Amino acid sequence: MPRTVALIVAAGRGHRLGGDLPKQYQALGDRSVLRYTLEQFLGHPAIEAVQVVIAAADRVLYDAETAGLVVRRAAIGGPTRQRSVLNGLEALIEEAPEIVVIHDAVRPLVGTDTISRTIEAVATGSGDGAVAGIPVVDTLKRVDGGRIAGTVDRAGLWRAQTPQGFRFDKLLAAHRAVAALGDREDTALTDDVAVAERAGLEITMVEGDERNFKITTEEDLQRARRDLTPRLQTRVGSGFDVHAFGPGTSVTLCGVEIPHSQALVGHSDADVALHALTDALLGAVAAGDIGVHFPPSDPQWRGAASDRFVHHAVTLVTREGGRIINVDITIICEQPRIGAYREQMRARVASMLGIAPNRVGIKATTTEKLGFTGRGEGIAAQAAAAVELPDGAD
């Protein structure tokens, strides 16, 4: 791959956004717009160095936002975008790159794939450069004095984005040629492809990304903040378990010991409600069932407290980046009555899950004397758990 550097244009003042702080230094979560952009290029395997062009007045802001990042000393921008890019290109002469990729600092959502496609098109193509873009899909109207004057054929029309990649020496020569003409109306070029076109360079269009939009207004900034917030999905798991009665003087349900004329029989403490809850949590993250993680053939789980199983399931949810929204447990039996223990059970389960008690439902029902629970032979429990996970989590 030819030696490639990125040139990030961050010298604009962003008047349409409003306020005193330039838009490239506005916050997106815990980082600035500029830092998000720089990290995309610094982390790209084909980019060997990053050069930034800034406004002279922004030196303190820039130094603060790039602390800890490996970037070249910033170049100072000029009165126009074209002059700013030229200053950045001149600063790269000693770097001697073969390819330079120009990108607007205020496009922080640029994807790795878009950067790669742009570089590859320059490196492997027969032309002099490449630009990322999006085909125009809306009907275009020409307007004169507020009235529609005609429809523009959209066939072959694309919206140009950045990055825009070029053979370094050819783009440098093209920018120098435009600068030599002085500040004229016909040299107020808005992107580097326009500069390249003026020099007769051959440019290829590659697929861009709708998320790679330019932050221009306050609405754009809010959109970027929304897009950088992880998308979440809700998953629901269910669990069911049964344990028979045997000799004993109490049963343990939801981690609470309840006096009874019999006990539940099981390899662990036979807490049928927590076993169902464990399966519900595991099901929500598609992690198998309780028997996979705690096989009854393993002697280490003999007599184990079932809250250990719940804690393990919670750990798996957390490892996936998830959080538990709520759980609902139904205990099915004729005896014992659990009404007097309901709030204690809710508090105990809430503590295990790290959620508020009002997110824990505990219910009890009977089978109207039908089946093994109706005959008093054991207790069944079913549970449901709702878990919020980042979209795309395995």
Task: Write the CA distances from 390 to 29, 84, 109, 236, 327, integer angstroms.
Answer: 17, 40, 18, 14, 19
| Residue 297 reports pLDDT greater than 90 | no
pTM over 0.75, yes/no? no
> Taking Cα atoms as reference points, which of 327, 334, 341, 337 lies closest to residue 382?
327
| Residue 16 reports pLDDT greater than 70 | no
Confidence category of residue 392, pLDDT binned at 50, 70, 90: low
Stretch (H or E) spanning 245: strand 232-246
Q: What is the pLDDT of residues 308-335, one digit of tens each?
A: 999 999 999 998 888 999 999 999 999 9
| Residue 18 reports pLDDT greater than 80 | no
What pLDDT is recorded for position 301?
75
What pLDDT is recorded for position 291?
84
Sorted by where each begins, the domain ranges of the chain are 4-228, 232-390
What pLDDT is recorded for position 183?
79
Higher-confidence residue: 264 or 291?
264
Q: What is the pLDDT of residues 66-118, one digit of tens each?
A: 999 999 999 999 999 999 999 999 999 999 999 999 999 999 999 999 999 99
Is domain 232-390 annotated with CATH 3.30.1330.50?
yes
d(CA 81, CA 44) in angstroms, rounded, equals: 25
Q: What is the pLDDT of residues 261-281, one digit of tens each?
A: 999 998 888 999 999 999 999
Architecture of domain 4-228: Alpha-Beta Complex (3.90)
